[in-house]
Amino acid sequence: MCGIIGIVNISEDVSEKLFKGLKLLEYRGYDSAGMAVINNGNLQIIKDKGKIDEIHEKYDFLTLSGRIGIAHTRWATHGAPDKVNAHPHIDCTGSIAVVHNGIIENFMDLKTELAEQGHKFRSRTDTEVVAHLIEENLKRGMDVEDAFVNAIRRLKGAYALAVISTASPDKIFCARVESPLVLGIREGEVYCSSDIPSLLLFTNKIAPLDNGEYAIISPNNVEIRRISDGSRVRKQFKKIDMGVEEAKKEGYPHYMLKEIFEQPYSIRYALNVQKNYLELMADFIDRSSRLFLVAAGTSYHAGLVGSYIFSKLARITGMPVIASEFVSRYGDSITVDDSILAISQSGETRDVLWAVEQAKMRGATILAIVNVLASTLTRVARIYLHQQSGPEIGVAATKTYTGQLTILYQLAFSLARKRGKLGQDEMDRFIEELNMLPDVIDMILKKCDREILEVANEIKDAKYVIFLGRGVNTGTAYEGRLKLMEISYIPSLAYPAGENKHGPISLIEKDVPVIGLVQDDETKKLMISNLHEVRSRGAKTYVISSSDDEEVREVSDVLIKVPRVSALFTPITYVVPLQLLAYHTSVLRGLDPDKPRNLAKSVTVI
């Protein structure tokens, strides 16, 4: 998964803009980066491994001068993250440059064929075949457009591509299959990029390229066609009302912290979900015989919490399934009577899209909760709900998780109402409480940040950390563990606390930190007894709870008390201290929580 950007201008150099846009795309990958421009008929390239700033410091991207250029920030899939494998990739003659996000599945076959024709490959990437395919087509007498289209028609897999060639020095050729690509325009300048925010620096007139389309962009013209038959596509460029400032850190040391503190706002936005679509989605779920909540990583945890809420409020069984497992586990048994509720912040997670595509082929109804508008999932879904959390730059999901939960609660209420499973008074009380959550989160952030910093100081050198939850907070325990593990690299475990004595309790020894989540519902007594079990074996317990009664205090070495809400809503209130814990631990260990190693924001590979 990578970020790509291309700019063509009528008279000015584009390297500075490419650099700025690329910086905004860095969340999509940051193990190597590069830029290519055409200057006086020659291709000039800077690329290397490392973060964009490191490469810039070493070579200075702004020394590239040219009115047309493409750039790339990479998260390696094929070939190690090194200079040779960094994009842009070029053909044998050094006159065609390509940047790519996605995976070309048949690249080995194409590479063999091209090598037999005499093409020399420099890298181990799947992308390089595109440059050589175009070169081969040019050799056979095609013009650049035909050479490009003919080449991409031979590709299997997923790609967003941008290509420049000295044979057509004022045009960028770009195309999209699966991986996202948007176009932007302003007077005398045209852009393509993997996302909208990177273009908002320059323009707010945006049009997404749809799946299976290619575009030829020049300083005053955009021509869009279908890859399959070359037919012309007319597209409107719409004004996007979103500032680039939204995507900046606003004084916080890291995006992750900024995003944690944005949650009172992002939850409020999620509460503004379009009610007609919410009702429509609830209708589909209500009519279906089975409901699967399909997602990956943090979004899967939201689905897991969602399954408890749906059952408790609406008496609906929703099966949470890890997206990458969905096809082998349920693929063959899916029918037209089933509904898939796909939950994906990016709307681009390949595992999720794969599950959804397979289910769709079997006639299931596809529903979705997404944060990124115009993402692939929004196009595949029959109905999607936009959680409106705003751009999330930190690789670790925080505000988008609580946003997803907020949507799931509203969906559960709507289902409960339809199915007559909640009395009006109870419903009104719950809805009122849900609407109060932004203020409650605000209080938690103000109260807990320092307390959690102290806990982070205590656990930062731990060999491992254990998270225990029960009931609605089983998913919260998993989420707390994922957050801590992914950004602090401390191995961590999470499981429903009832599993303790079925194995994991053997890990408990003196001073092992155990984070316990205690909510005031049918699980409280059992959870307290699980905490006694680990404490009596030497564990140090850090308990997050809205109760501070004797029972809870007795099992807590450290008690993080959060404001009281109904147990049903504690997955939102309890996860916030866990996000802060992960953040502070990461920083105390001298790490960059925004850019955990080996991870990227949106995982567009299987």
Residue 402 engages ligand F6R in binding (rule: CB under 6 A): no
Residue 257 engages ligand F6R in binding (rule: CB under 6 A): no
Which residue in the block uniquely carries the two structure tokens 């999509």?
A: 28
C-beta of residue 157 within 8 angstroms of C-beta of residue 109: no
Question: Which residue among 2, 174, 192, 448 is the active-site one?
Answer: 2
In this structure, which amino acid lies at residue 506? S
Question: Which residue among 47, 171, 483, 601 is the active-site one?
Answer: 601
> Which of residues 111 and 481 has its CB atom nearest to ligand F6R in the complex?
481
Instruction: Give, to the nearest 10 degrees, the angle between helix 399-418 and helix 275-287.
Output: 60
C-beta of residue 278 within 8 angstroms of C-beta of residue 265: no
Residue 545 engages ligand F6R in binding (rule: CB under 6 A): no
- From 235-243, 344-352, 426-434, 557-565, give the range in contact with ligand F6R by CB under 6 A: 344-352
> Which of residues 17 and 483 has its CB atom nearest to ligand F6R in the complex?
483
> Which of residues 494 and 555 has its CB atom nearest to ligand F6R in the complex?
494
Could you say which of 349, 402, 500, 547 contacts ligand F6R (CB under 6 A)? 349
Distances (CA, A) of 31 to 35, 171, 383, 596: 14, 28, 36, 11
Can you list the alpha helix ranges (DSSP code H) found in 462-561? 474-488, 524-535, 550-554
C-beta of residue 97 within 8 angstroms of C-beta of residue 164: yes
> Which of residues 64 and 397 has its CB atom nearest to ligand F6R in the complex?
397
> Which of residues 128 and 351 has its CB atom nearest to ligand F6R in the complex?
351
> Which of residues 348 and 533 has its CB atom nearest to ligand F6R in the complex?
348
Size of site (CB under 6 A) for ligand F6R: 15
- From 19-27, 91-99, 345-353, 426-434, give the range in contact with ligand F6R by CB under 6 A: 345-353
Does residue 88 have a cis bond before it (omega within 30 degrees)? yes
Binding to ligand F6R, residues 484-523 (CB under 6 A): 486
Q: Mark residues 586-605: x for contact with ligand F6R by CB under 6 A, - for none.
A: ----------------xx--
Distances (CA, A) of 533 to 266, 487, 494, 530: 38, 29, 16, 5
C-beta of residue 263 within 8 angstroms of C-beta of residue 445: yes
Residue 298 engages ligand F6R in binding (rule: CB under 6 A): yes
Q: Is 2 a catalytic residue?
A: yes
- From 36-44, 343-351, 447-455, 512-520, give the range in contact with ligand F6R by CB under 6 A: 343-351
How far is Cα 510 from Cα 454, in angstroms, rounded to an integer? 20
DSSP code of 314? I
Could you say which of 125, 346, 410, 488 contacts ligand F6R (CB under 6 A)? 346
- From 163-171, 198-206, 293-301, 439-447, give the range in contact with ligand F6R by CB under 6 A: 293-301
Q: Which two tokens stand for residue 291?
A: 């409901």
Residue 396 engages ligand F6R in binding (rule: CB under 6 A): yes
Residue 294 engages ligand F6R in binding (rule: CB under 6 A): no
- From 210-218, 294-302, 356-364, 440-448, give the range in contact with ligand F6R by CB under 6 A: 294-302
Residue 299 engages ligand F6R in binding (rule: CB under 6 A): yes
Could you say which of 66, 88, 219, 297 contacts ligand F6R (CB under 6 A)? 297
**Residues facing 468 on adjacent strands:** 495, 516
> Which of residues 135 and 195 has its CB atom nearest to ligand F6R in the complex?
195
List b or e across 533-565, with b for residues whose CB sees 16 or more CB atoms inside 10 angstroms.
bbbeeebbbbbbbbbeeebbeebbeebbbbeeb
Instruction: Please state the closest distance from residue 581 (CB atom) to ligand F6R, in A.
Output: 14
Q: Which of 565, 103, 169 is nearest to 354 (CA)?
A: 103
Instruction: Please state the closest distance from residue 346 (CB atom) to ligand F6R, in A.
Output: 3
Residue 352 engages ligand F6R in binding (rule: CB under 6 A): yes
Instruction: Please state the closest distance from residue 482 (CB atom) to ligand F6R, in A.
Output: 6
Q: Which residue is nearest to ligand F6R (CB)?
A: 297
How far is Cα 393 from Cα 261, in angstroms, rounded to an integer? 14
Residue 397 engages ligand F6R in binding (rule: CB under 6 A): yes
> Which of residues 560 and 578 has its CB atom nearest to ligand F6R in the complex?
578
Q: Which contacts (CB < 8 Å, 24+ apart) does range 234-237 have?
A: 235/183, 235/207, 236/207, 237/183, 237/184, 237/185, 237/205, 237/206, 237/207
C-beta of residue 514 within 8 angstroms of C-beta of residue 540: yes
Longest dimension (CA), the chain: 84
Residue 263 engages ligand F6R in binding (rule: CB under 6 A): no
> Which of residues 345 and 573 has its CB atom nearest to ligand F6R in the complex?
345
**Sign of the Cα pseudo-torsion (342, 442, 517, 485, in order):** positive
Q: Which two tokens stand for residue 397?
A: 């999901």
Q: State the residues that interact with ligand F6R by CB under 6 A.
A: 296-299, 344-346, 349, 352, 396-397, 482, 486, 602-603
Active site positions, annotated: 2, 601
